[in-house]
Chains A and B, each alone.
Chain A
Amino acid sequence: MTQEELIEQLKDQIIKALSLEDITPADIDADAPLFGEGLGLDSIDAIELILLLEKEYGIKVEDPRQRREILASVRTMAKFIEDNGKA
Chain B
Amino acid sequence: MEALISLVLRNNKIFRRDKTQVFFSLLSVIIVIVLYAVFLQKMQVDAIEQLTEATPELITMVNEWLVAGLLSMIAVSTTLGAYGIAVKDQESKVQADFLTAPLSRATIQLSYVLNAFIIGCIFSFIALLGCEIFIVTTGGKILSFGDFIQVLSILFLSVLLASVFNLFLSLFVSTQNAFSTLGTIVGTLLGFLCGVYVPLGALPSFAQHIIMYFPISHTTLLLRNAFMESSIANVFDGVPVSYVEDYKMNYGIVYELNGHILSSTTSLIVIVCTIVVLSLASMILFKRKYN
Q: Do A and B come from the same complex?
A: no
B positions within 8 Å CB-CB of A:
none
Q: Interface residues, chain A, CB within 8 Å of chain B?
A: none
